[in-house]
Amino acid sequence: MAGGFPVELILLAMVAAFLVLRLRSVLGRRTGFERPPQANGPRPAGFDPRGPRTIDSHAEEVTPAAAGKRAARVLPDPRTPPGQALARISAADRSFDPQRFLDGAEGAFRMIVEAFANGDRATLRALLSDDTYASFEHAIAAREQAGEQQRTEIRAVNELGIEAADLRGSIADITVRFVTDQINMTTGRNGEVVSGSDAVTELTDLWTFQRDLNSPDPTWKLVATRSA
């Protein structure tokens, strides 16, 4: 129509606006387990998995797609104490979602065990509490001084689930059970095997993550680890 605005341009503008909003909704999501910016340059590698028991499982990062399957997610019954605690956390933080939390926790598990094995202190510093980081850093330094290297692989994450949860004031704690198939082998300065082997072993670990829900920082930091 003469003097009118072309209908095709209006439709194209509406489609473009829709796509922008969709991209923002997907790319803008944060779980609180994002990988910190990485500095360029080499990273030290290797540690003894049977040395200082600061962390109980160690692995190179493997994406769920590379592992071949998605790990089973297990959430507590809403009527149980952990389930009720998760409901209180959700009420205090409307952005919290237990399933998305577990997705982020799996990513954090992979990042942390890889960073510990590689001596990546920057990544650990961003994802660990102060006390936990101090213990990890001490173990890394001891490994480096011994000249040992670690071959570590997560062959599969079979299951992860929320074992416990608590909310004290604004401080939330969530303990996650990780069931994984791993390879751990430590070699010394001359390449001799110090501990472990190339056999795949199933390991179960319990990791506790913590966050102050009133803090603008969305990061859930690792505060405790143990083997089940």
How far lies 177's CA from each of 76, 84, 151, 207, in Å? 12, 18, 23, 7
pTM, two decimals, is 0.73
Q: List phi, psi (to 5°) of 183.
A: -115, 130
Q: Give 103-137 pLDDT, tens digit per residue.
A: 999 999 999 999 988 899 999 999 999 999 999 99
Q: Which amino acid is at 177?
A: R
Instruction: Give the per-residue pLDDT at 135.
Output: 96
β-strand pairing of 193-212 with 72-74: unpaired
Helix (DSSP H) and strand (DSSP E) numbers for the chain = 6, 5
Q: In order of start, what are the domains of the chain with their CATH numbers? A: 43-227 (3.10.450.240)
